[in-house]
Structure 1
Amino acid sequence: MSKRYSVAVVQAAPVLFNLEATLDKVERWVEEARDASLMLFPEAFVSAYPRGLSFGTVVGSRKEEGRALWQKYWESSIAEGDVSCDRLGQIARKANSFLVIGVNEKDSVSGTLYCSMFYFGPDGSFLGKHRKVKPTAQERLIWGEDDGSTLSTFDTNLGKIGGLICWENYMPLARMAMYQKGIQLYLAPTADNRDGWQQTMRHIALEGRCFVLGSNQFVTKDMYPADLPGASDLESQPDIMANGGSIIVDPLGNVLTGPLWGEEGILTAEIDLDQIIQSKLDFDPIGHYNRPDIFELKVNRQPDIKKL
């Protein structure tokens, strides 16, 4: 196992609602960060986090322009094993790095969209995914919620990697499910650019005694296509739609780099896995600081057979 290596967090915007152009942009950012052993991209990077858009919906009513927007959104999404998914694997292989990226995932059977993280190995292989188990607020209109079968961690030569998406990180039991798996690199792609999010990243690092990589987009309103159905929703939105805030934190809650605000860019930091062991001298959430005689967490990781 590699004990020391560099990781990178990419803070950028996709080419909104344009799948091929977004994949081109992923390739350019990966090329720029190619010295890193692992690269993390933000939530819903392929190919949009649709901030500010209503999809023509109010309670009890939908508009045709909202359905047209939904189709455009669906068409800019990807499915596990499709050509676009394979291309992401090829990008990871070319860089000889682990690539973890937020995507809008089309279920190949139902067509339902999920907010997912796709994991690719340095050999280009698709390692697996995590689907968001609870979309937040209006997100539930566009994304389905997953079962516990994709609460995933992966044993790699960099250690055990995994993570949760955006406000899943506010779910204490979801975090504990990750800690129970011995997570060492905790990945948290997000769309939250509030100052308080940085405290959440530091808290998770301290609580889980793990490295935390937080990645967000930097998006301006003029990046949205001018001819987007329902674009009138954006008139009341600020010019800067997502201001970033990406960050990397060590297992004692110290900020290694970031937060990055107000621009696209790459954050890099060196990981030293020995720091995880050292941090557990005085706290270990699943070891000596656990009380299994009092507390018990049961996680249902079986897939929902209704979806199979």
Structure 2
Amino acid sequence: MRNRHVKVAVIQAAPILFDKQSAMDKISTMTKEAAEQGAELIVFPEVFLPGYPRGLSFGARVGSRTPDGRKDWERYWSSAIDVPGDETKQIGDLAKELGVHLVIGVVERDQEFSTGTLFNTMIYIGPDGELLGKHRKLVPTGSERLLWGQGDGSTLTVIDTPFGRVGGLICWENYMPLARTAMYAQGIDIYVAPTADARDSWQSTIRHIACEGRCFVLSCNQFATKESYPADLAYYPDIEQDPEVLSKGGSAIVGPLGEYIAEPLYNQEGIIVATLDLSEIVRSRFDFDPVGHYSRPDVFQLIVNETKQDIVQRKQ
């Protein structure tokens, strides 16, 4: 029997960019603060570890890259983590100490084939300290494609918990209708949507997903200022003329009929806490279930390739 109520927390903050220890310290501090408020599921923003490099060009133009830009990227690569690895073990120890589920956006280094590729990844840690799964962003957006590789269908992850099935997509892959459908088809109850989008249109997106999927949506963004950027970056001048607040946030929690449970938080760091009544999901699906009675498999079918896509196939 599932718990029908769960207290959740969405963290709106940013570490010092490229500073892995700064991110780890904030994860520890803010997780403890959320746990003290009774949160059982705690969500951190997109690539919180070690930060989202908003506004930086890394010296990249169409047809050319610069030596200094490569050095900035090397610094970003050095602050990424292995999954699993030392940092996931430390985060797991924290989750076990506090008895909470954690969902955290990280920059992941490829360990299997190439040490040169990074992924925009969301990791799931259980209250036993174990790494329960991960999701790699399917399509990095715009200039992000120079920083991160593409995930595949093997990490369209949904985690079964005592309070429901938890999963989600990262930022603009939430605009991919078929990817959303693949998540709904796994019986998702709590849909996690870490993002770097602070625009008003993102609020329409998360409310639509909640209403479409008949699920709770936890949207999580960083509140980032220029103070969180190391001034000794070669391409720090890229942001010198930008406003002091680089990302105003907008983290929010939405119910399964599309209404706010917690309104968007703007222009400050903070923790949004709310208690979810999972019975609302059942009630909301009375008149609409996108992969149940409101689907038409005789007309539409979705094929999801969940096979891990390896560049090298090793045969004995």
- TM-score over 0.5 for the pair: yes
Which residue pairs with 1:213 in the alignment?
218
Does residue 45 in structure 1 map to residue 48 in structure 2?
Answer: yes
Q: How far apart in 1 are the matches of 2:248 and 2:255?
A: 23
Structure 2 CA distance, aligned partners of 1:120 and 1:2? 19
Structure 1 residue 218: Cα displacement: 0.3
Tell me how far 1:15 sits from its aligned partner: 2.0
> CA offset at residue 140 of structure 1?
0.2
Equivalent residues in 2 for 1:10-21 (5 A)? 10-21=11-22
Q: What whole-Å deviation, never above 9, does each CA across 1:145-179 have from its counterpart, x for those lacking one?
A: 01111011011112100000000000000000000
SS in 2 for 1:33: helix
| Change over 3 Å in CA distance of 1:307–1:209 after alignment to 2 | farther
Q: For residue 233 of structure 1, report the CA deviation from its aligned partner.
A: 1.0
CA contact (8 A) 2:23 2:51 kept: no
**Structure 1-normalised TM-score?**
0.98
- Out of 300, 304, 309, the residue aligned to residue 299 of structure 1 is 304
- Percent of aligned pairs with the same residue? 53
Q: Deviations over 1:28-76 (max 9, x none)?
A: 0001000201000000100010000001111111111111111110111
Instruction: State the shift of 1:307 in Å.
Output: 5.8
Contact 1:15 1:25 survives alignment (8 Å) = no
Provide the C-alpha distance between the structure 1 equivalents of 2:127 and 2:147, rounded to a whole number of angstroms. 32
Write out the 4+ residue segments of structure 1 that deviate beyond 3 Å after TM superposition.
none
Q: How many residues align?
A: 308
SS across alignment from 2:142: coil
Tell me which residue corresponds to 2:87.
84
1:70 aligned onto 2:76: no
Distance 1:201 1:300 in 2: 25
Equivalent position to 2:132, from 127, 134, 141: 127
CA deviation string 1:87-123 (max 9, x = no partner): 1111211221000000000111312100000100011
Structure 1 window deviating more from structure 2 (225-234 vs 240-249): it is: 225-234
Looking at structure 1, the residues matched to 83 and 26 of structure 2 have their Cα atoms a distance apart, in angstroms, of 20
Unaligned runs of 5+ in 1: none
Partner residue of 1:164? 169
Distance 1:274 1:135 in 2: 35
For the 8 Å contact 2:167–2:188, the answer to whether it is kept is yes
Which of 93, 96, 101 is equivalent to 1:98? 101
* RMSD over aligned Cα atoms: 0.9
Residue 259 of structure 1 is matched in structure 2 by 264
1:5 paired with 2:21, answer no
Q: Is the 8 A contact 1:40 1:101 kept in 2?
A: yes
Q: Distance in 2 between matches of 1:33 and 1:305?
A: 39
Task: Tell me how far apart the structure 1 counterparts of residues 75 and 197 of structure 2 sit (CA, whole Å).
Answer: 24
Conserved 8 A contact 1:41-1:102 = yes
* Structure 2, gaps ≥5 residues long: none
2:227 is aligned with 1:222: yes
CA contact (8 A) 1:243 1:261 kept: yes
What is the alpha-carbon distance in structure 1 between the residues aligned to residue 61 and residue 199 of structure 2?
26
* 1:61 match: 64
Supply the distance in 2 between the matched residues of 1:59 and 1:257 (Cα, whole angstroms): 42
Shift of 1:296: 0.4
One-letter identity of the residue aligned with 1:47: P
Distance 1:164 1:139 in 2: 16
